[in-house]
Amino acid sequence: MAILSPYLTFKAKKFNLYKITITIILCTVFYLVGFYKDSRGTISANATSSSSSTAFRCAPTNHSTTTLDFAARHFAQDPKPPVAREHHFPPCEPKFSEYTPCEDVERSVRFDRDRLIYRERHCPESHEILKCRVPPPYGYKVPFSWPESRGLAWYTKMETCLTPLPEVAGIRDIAGGQLAKWPERLNAIPPRISSGSLEGLTANSFVENSELWKKRVAYYKKIDYQLAKTGRYRNLLDMNAHLGGFAAALVDDPVWVMNVVPVQAKMNTLGVIFQRGLIGTYQNWCEAMSTYPRTYDFIHVDSLFSLYENRCGVEDILLEMDRILRPEGSVIIRDDVDILLNVKAIMDAMQWDGRITDHESGPHEREKILFATKMYWTAPRPDQD
């Protein structure tokens, strides 16, 4: 049996080789026969229910082009395109030319006279807020540029604002730390930062912030040549001042900057502003500022609309800016591009002329900068309808 096994194995393999060879030959023959019939142009097919045969053309001589119709057979009305909200902010009546919402005399008489409560700051409720633009009185003229206006009065109403001093360990210690003399104190590290009183702020971050604002202000002056013009602006407002970097970068210009720290800001930095030798105050920008109309020549706004998103209306903040900015005054607003597009749409309805430009670091930044100027207009002549 051991001798026969190799022989039988060889015989089986040889038989399989014959089967494969025969299969290949048969497949080749069938393929050639089929190819020969196809080349004659017809194929005969026997019907199962009849002895007759029918010829089918495989490759017709003349090709006809069929136009396919993909038109819809069922139609539905297209949805109406979204309608952009039309902003409309008409001028207020001329009697509101000196209107200060939170200090309104007519409104204050509604409050209790006990302990002079009626003389406190009382802002209008949401349903009482005017949705119109406070008009300059008829005949209003833009103030003279500095220094020609030096001898003229610059009226402004400021709130008294106190910020608590840090505690001291001993009687000889200076609350808040020793301050450098002016002008060195402007760029010296404020004691509130060097002492670690403000979490997240370090000496290095303070220096970086100061250098950043020097770069930004230089960029502003390249875009807005009026900001670079000496005497063009006198009273400036920074609505979200943070460390006062914007004001510090303008130290060599003949300007006066009010630095505002919003009460909703993540960090209370008003003490740092004071220690730099600058002035400032707190403000809730969902309310009107306690200052007369047309107080400021220029307003700077850094990321304020992002801060107040979902807190109060963009239009309410812009109407307040319009109230406290004099005609032909300017604003610079930096924020996310989507927010700025909405801001500009409202500004266009307020007789402001504005344009959005790229960030100082280039066009790939989402943060953009809006430069705008309030157009000159006044209330009509008293005898004019």
Confidence category of residue 172, pLDDT binned at 50, 70, 90? low
- CB 128 within 8 Å of CB 96: no
Over residues 123-141, mean pLDDT: 91
- Which pLDDT value is given to residue 25? 83
Instruction: State which amino acid sits at residue 196.
Output: G
Is the model's pTM score more than 0.75? Answer: no
At 103, which helix (H) or strand (E)? none
- CB 122 within 8 Å of CB 102: yes
Over residues 72-100, mean pLDDT: 72
pLDDT digits (tens, 9 = 90+) for 143-159: 767 666 655 564 444 44
Q: Helix 314-324 to helix 337-348 angle, to the nearest 10 degrees?
A: 60
Quick check: 49 pLDDT over 50?
no
Query: Is 181 strand, coil or helix?
Result: coil
Query: Which residues does 363 contact at the CB level (< 8 Å), separation at least 6?
Result: none
Percent of the chain at pLDDT exceeding 70 = 73
pLDDT digits (tens, 9 = 90+) for 317-363: 999 999 999 999 999 999 999 999 999 999 999 999 999 999 999 99
Closest CA to 197 of 219, 171, 167: 167
- Which pLDDT value is given to residue 55? 45
| The pair of three-digit structure tokens given for residue 77, joined into one six-digit string | 């009305």
Confidence category of residue 209, pLDDT binned at 50, 70, 90? very high
39/131: higher pLDDT: 131
Quick check: 310 pLDDT over 60?
yes
User: What are phi and psi for residue 102, nearest 5 degrees?
Assistant: -85, 0
- Which pLDDT value is given to residue 114? 79
Over residues 58-82, mean pLDDT: 57
Strands (E), 105-240: 235-238
Over residues 207-228, mean pLDDT: 95
- Average pLDDT score over the chain: 82
- CB 272 within 8 Å of CB 192: yes
pLDDT digits (tens, 9 = 90+) for 248-259: 999 999 999 999
Beta bridge partners of 354: 372
Percent of the chain at pLDDT exceeding 90 = 56
- Which pLDDT value is given to residue 64? 56
Decide: residue 233, CB within 10 A, 0-12 exposed, 13-18 middle, 19+ buried.
buried
Alpha helices by DSSP H, listed for the chain, are: 4-39, 105-108, 191-194, 203-223, 225-228, 245-249, 270-275, 304-307, 314-324, 337-348
- CB 261 within 8 Å of CB 270: yes
